[in-house]
Structure formats: structure tokens, C-alpha cells
Amino acid sequence: MEKKPIVLAFGTRTPGDSLALDVARGLKVDGVEFREARSLDDALDAAGEERKLFIMDVVKGIKRIELIDAGLLRRRRVFSLHDLDVGFFLQLLSATGGTGVKIIGIPWGMDRDGARKEVAKLLEKIA
């Protein structure tokens, strides 16, 4: 039996940045497990479960919901602890064999209910 894909919702409690968390809380898609990511360790743990993994977060500069291949993220050097963000950990996952990680990018400021509907449609096609 195939294991359910995991969607990890990232964000903070600050206005705008909590949108992915809000979307995940009210979303139900058959065959998909939603989790709230409390730390970057949650992404590493989920990747270790050998299931299809999606990271959902808000993204500034996009106009519609997009599916982004984590392997295509811009590589950058880590100079301090401030540089250890989700992008760095996705690069780490990719380098250790977790190349199947995809990012569900939600435009910053999108309506929550509209985002929920669009994410559900996307996941029904790909999950």
C-alpha cells in the first residue's frame, strides 16, 4: 500500500506569513496528510519517512499558486546561523537524495479561502 504524501505547512504567526498554516488547517484532500511544521527538523523527519513530500509556504513575488521543484532553488553559501532557513534545508534534502521535494508556493496576501480551493485542486491532480 502506497503511503500518503505529506504536506508540511510553514509560516509564523505574523500577519501574511501565517497564510500557509491557515490554509492547511482547513484543508482536506483524500490521500494527503497535512502537518504544521514547527521547526526545520520537521522537514528532515518527514523526508526520512520515504513519502512524497510537499512544503507549503507563502512566497513574495508570485501572482498565483505555483508548484516549485526544490532542486531548482538558488544555491547560496551559509555564513551564519541566520542563513539556515527553509531554502538551505531543502538544498540539504536534495543533496542527500530527497530530490522529490516540491514547494507549493502561495502568493503573499492571497485570500485564504481562494488559496484553499486552489491548493486542493492542485493536490488532487498531483498527489
CB neighbour list of residue 74: distance below 8 Å, 6 or more residues apart:
87
Q: What is the pTM of this model?
A: 0.81
Angstrom distance (rounded) from CA 123 to CA 18: 20
Contact of 77 with 29, CB cutoff 8 Å = no
pLDDT tens-digit readout, 71-97 = 655 555 544 444 445 666 666 666 665
Q: Is the pLDDT higher at 18 or at 127?
A: 18
pLDDT tens-digit readout, 33-73 = 999 988 778 877 887 788 888 989 998 889 999 998 766 55
Angstrom distance (rounded) from CA 6 to CA 28: 12
Contact of 124 with 32, CB cutoff 8 Å = no
Question: Top-level CATH class of 6-126?
Answer: alpha beta
Angstrom distance (rounded) from CA 71 to CA 124: 23
